[in-house]
Structures are given as C-alpha cells and as structure tokens.
Amino acid sequence: MKKLNVLYVAILSVICAPTYASLAGKKIGVDPGHGGCDPGAVNSTYSVRESDANLSTALSLKKYLEADSANVAITRTTDTRFDSIPCPTSDLTKRANFFNSEQVNYTISVHHNASSSSSPNYTVVEVQDYGNGSTDCDATSGKLAYAVVNRLKQSTGLSTGSGCSGKPGVHAQNLAILRETGMPAILTEVSFVSNNTEAQKLQKTDYLNSNGWAIYAGLADFLGQTPISIAGNSGVSRAKSLKLLLDKFGISSANAGFNSYRFGESITIPSDVNSSTSYYDYIVTGYNKGIVSGNSGSFSPDRAVNLAEFLTMIVRAIPIPLNNPSYAEYPYGQGDWYYSYAKAAYNAGIIGNSNYDFFGALDEASMNALLNSAYEYFMGSKSGISIYAKWTQQYADIDVYLYDPVSGNNTEIQYDSNYTVTNMSALTRTNGIVYYGKPSTSWGGNLDYDSYGGNGQQPWSGLGEERITVDSLMLRRPGKYSIIFCHYDWGKNPASATVEWWGIKAGRNINIGGQNFFTPIEKGKCRYTGTLSTN
C-alpha cells in the first residue's frame, strides 16, 4: 500500500485585471451624408429625407463612439449643407479635407440607399473602387466594412447586397469621400429610403439609434474591442459583461473544451450571437461552462446586463452553491427568479444587505466592484475547491469523488501500486465522500455536474465530463481531500478510459505548470490521483 503525499499546489494562474481601453486614442471621422439644400433621396409617401436619417444615425454613432472614449470629427451636426454658395455647389471635398487634416484613423460616411422601385431594401457598405480592377475590398476598409455590415444586418434585420468576393454586403464604388480621404474609409448605405416599409422605420428614433450603434459596434468588432451596450455609457452589454467576468477569473475562452455539449445537455448557441464578432468565443465559453444558459433562442448580446443577470453569471462561474441551508436569508427579492443567486452572492459577500435595483442597467464601475468582491471570495480563504474532468472514450462512465477522511470516521483510503483504490465500497459507506447534488434542485455538500452516469440525466454525446465543486462553507479547514476517479462497468463500456483533469483551489489551478493531468482508468476500477490540502 502506498500513499501519495499532498499534491502539487502550483500557483500559476496569475490573474491580471484586464484593461478595456476600448476606443481611447482613436479619432473617427463621421460624415452624415447630404444635408441642407441637398436632402439626398426622399420618400415622398412618408416624407422621409435621406439627409435626416443620415444625420440621426450619424449622431447616434457619434454618441456611442464618444461614450467609448473615441475622439470624433463630424462634418455636420445639423441639417446643413456647408458652403457659402447655394446648391449645387457643394462640400464633399471639404469633408474629405477636414478628415485628412484632422488625421482621423477611419472615415465613416453614413448614407441611406434609394431605388426607382419601392421594392428593394437591403443593407450594404461601400468601399472604394479605383477602377482597373483595383478596390479596397481586401484592404483595411473592406475588413472594416464587413464588420459593420454584419452589425447592420442585425440592427436592420435586412439582407445584404452583393459585391466584394467573400464579404457579403460589402460593395466597391468610386465615391469622393472614400477616394479623397487618406485613411481607411467606408460609406454605409444602411437601408432603402425608397422602400415604404423601411421609410416608416426610419421615422423611429430607436431604429435610427440602433443602426448608429450597429455601425459603432462594427468598428469595435473590427478593432477587437467589445462594444459598449446600446444602452450607452451607463450600461454594459451582456456580451461585454461576460467577457469581463471570464477574464477576471482567468477562464479562457480557448479552454472551453466541450463545445456544443455540456454536462449532459445539448447546447445551441443562439442565433443572435454572431460568430464573426469579438465576443463570440466568450459567449460560447459561457454556455459551455454553464455560466449562461437558456433556450429562449436569443442571448441578446448587445442588451445592457442588469444586476440579476450579472450576479447569476458570477455565482455560476465561481461557482457558489445555491440553497445552502446554512446561508443567511437575503431579505429582498424572494420569489423572483434570481433570488437564489442573489442569496448566494449575499452570503459570499459579493453584495450587501441592501435592496438593489436588480433590473436596471449595470454600469461598468458597479460591475467591476462586484467582480472585485467575487474575486476576493474566489481567491480567498473562503473559496471552495473544484475538480474538472473530461474524457472522450465513447460509453466511458467516469465519476469524480473527493474524500474527506475526517468526515469518513478517519477511514483511510487504500490503494495498490497502480493507485487503484481497494476499499472504495468502504469509503462510500462513510460520510466522507463528497457526492452528487444538483445545485438547482437540491443542496448537497458539493456541486456535481456529470454528463454520463451519476445523476443519469444526460443524453449520450460520445464524450463525457464532470465537475465537482466543494463549497467553501462545507470544506474542512485544515483538511485533506483525496481525489478519486471511478470508471464504472456497465458492460459495454471501454476497457480503459483516460481522464483529462485539472483542479482549482482558491481560484488557482492546482496542477503543476498549469498543465492538465491525464489519468488512465481501467473499467470497473477507481483510481486515487492525489490529495488536495485545504490549508
């Protein structure tokens, strides 16, 4: 009989607070097309002028850019066509010279389209066509245009026009504001003023604002930044809040691992989560790790997150068990869907004993304060321990156990030279095994998510995973928890399975060098892999 000593507590993940400089240091040229005596296209049925729609959309764009710390040079803020000589003498060259002089990083000219027919209605973003087959389709302008048109597709709900190869919705045309500016430049044709349905929408402030936000968000996507919420400076989008959370806790989006299937449940990424956006990996990771969930078919990545939603994400991410009978009551919100999360957050010291506005937009400062409190809980002495495991052998059925010998009447774990546990039955008869329990339905000494075996609620995906977390309130301190993997024998299971696993204690990966372990287990055997100290 051999006993492993206390395992490897390697502190490696130095979790640095990320910076979100957003668009600070960038200067953006915004040009609301037409204006004054030049109304652009006009829908006479609904008295909608393109110049007005351009201006409203551009002013919204400016608002969001400035809220995200960008400098903005704008060619007009009123219904004006600049020049001291009446139309048709005009000012496109001045607009370009203004942007060139100001040395803006990007030029965005906001226009709406029109057709002699009232039928067409789609969104398109123009880049420069120099003639002779030379365009900006594949240049920086083309990439920016593609990011913007993808956002405009969402905000307008329209299809895209054709044009540049591989970039649906990006089209090349020889236009003055694109040609005469020295920096990457795009011209958005948001939608068709000549379409009567669209013209009615273009009279609505919210619609124009959402299109202005979409252009801003496309620029943010292009720059690899997560856009602020459409609610503006006071709100943080759900997508960005998830990114902040994952980054704060060092949960890598590249470490999602499980793709489209999590803890026995098939995951479908909602259709409003655009795979080309900068936050896509974060949302996929959020779903994979159970930090966000739901089958409503939408994630609403751009909507401002509220306190109820953000606390839910935090509690799930750490995770903090729900419904611990030892929890103090949180006196507000009983009966609301978020209550158990608020209660857990309250008992973890993340929120105080106050009646917060759980449904108002959460600003970034408040969000960071919550994250700091959660991080303190996560990293501090109150944090629990978690073991994550996954395997890919079909039909393998692995369970993870933590065994506390003190709670188990001091029954010692016994194992052979291959670390195969030889007294598993005896151990399971004690109170020392940290075992099943689903946080949403019952309280246990742990959280146990299991994709196959265990609680038996899962369809088969061809791979498996399990996470077991011991809440800080249930941990014995000081204590030593033995980690055991069991590979059950249901007949058709593979003879051996290899479990890839890692452990987290006080927010840190316990594995040496941060590398996951790979532990082979024979069918019908339980393997002792080490002991985790809670000191």
Partner 1 sequence: MKKTTLGFLVPLLCCNIGFAANEIGITNLRKLTDSGDNIAPSFSPTDNNLIAFTKQKYNGIYTLQLDNNRRSNGAASGQSVVDAPKSGFGFVWSPDGKAIVFRAGETGSTHAGLVDINNKQQTNLSDQSSDISIPVIKDGKVFFTKDGVETQKELLSNAARRSANSGVSVAQNNGRILIGGSQISKDGIACFFPKVSPDSQKISYECMDGLYVYHISTNQTISLGAGSNAQWSSNSAKLVYEQPIDNGHDVVKSDVFIVNADGSNKINLTEGIDQIVRRPSLSPDGKKLAVDVNGDIYVVDLVGVN
**Contact window for partner 1 (CB under 8 A) among 6-14, 33-41, 374-382, 392-400:** 33-41
Task: Determine the Cα–Cα distance for residues 11 and 400; give it in Å rounded to an integer.
Answer: 23
Instruction: Give me the amino acid identity at 313.
Output: M
> Using the rule CB under 8 A, which residue among 2, 8, 11, 103 binds partner 1?
103
In DSSP notation, 94-121 reads HHHHHHHHHT-SEEEEEEEE--SSS---
Answer yes or no whether residue 79 interacts with partner 1 by CB under 8 A: no
> Using the rule CB under 8 A, which residue among 64, 98, 261, 391 binds partner 1?
98
- Contact status, residue 126 vs residue 186, Cβ threshold 8 Å: yes
- Contact status, residue 108 vs residue 219, Cβ threshold 8 Å: yes
- Supply the angle between the helices 238-248 and 280-288 in degrees, to the nearest 10: 70
Cβ proximity to partner 1, 38 vs 376, nearer residue: 38
Answer yes or no whether residue 90 interacts with partner 1 by CB under 8 A: yes
Per CB under 8 A, which of residues 124..153 are in contact with partner 1? 130-132
Answer yes or no whether residue 176 interacts with partner 1 by CB under 8 A: yes
Answer yes or no whether residue 19 interacts with partner 1 by CB under 8 A: no
> Using the rule CB under 8 A, which residue among 23, 125, 175, 362 binds partner 1?
175
Tokens of 344: 């857990």
- Contact status, residue 50 vs residue 187, Cβ threshold 8 Å: no
| In the complex, least distance from residue 516 CB atom to partner 1, rounded to whole angstroms | 40
Answer yes or no whether residue 457 interacts with partner 1 by CB under 8 A: no
Question: Beta 385-391 vs 398-403: how paired, if at all?
Answer: unpaired
> Using the rule CB under 8 A, which residue among 48, 65, 73, 344 binds partner 1?
73
Cβ proximity to partner 1, 90 vs 446, nearer residue: 90
Answer yes or no whether residue 100 interacts with partner 1 by CB under 8 A: yes
Cβ proximity to partner 1, 99 vs 378, nearer residue: 99
Place of tokens 């038996």: 456
Answer yes or no whether residue 115 interacts with partner 1 by CB under 8 A: no
Answer yes or no whether residue 493 interacts with partner 1 by CB under 8 A: no
Place of tokens 């590249």: 254
Place of tokens 């990771």: 285
**Contact window for partner 1 (CB under 8 A) among 103-111, 191-199, 201-209, 232-240:** 103-111
Answer yes or no whether residue 211 interacts with partner 1 by CB under 8 A: no
Cβ proximity to partner 1, 180 vs 281, nearer residue: 180
Question: Beta 124-131 vs 170-173: how paired, if at all?
Answer: parallel
Answer yes or no whether residue 347 interacts with partner 1 by CB under 8 A: no
In DSSP notation, 185-209 reads EEEEEEEETTSHHHHHHTT-HHHHH
Answer yes or no whether residue 183 interacts with partner 1 by CB under 8 A: yes
Q: Which helix (H) or strand (E) holds 283?
A: helix 280-288
Nearest residue to 148 via CA among 297, 277, 324:
277
Please give the residue ranges that form the binding site for partner 1 (CB under 8 A).
Answer: 25-27, 33-34, 38, 40, 71, 73, 75-76, 82-85, 88-95, 97-98, 100-105, 111, 130-132, 174-176, 179, 181-183
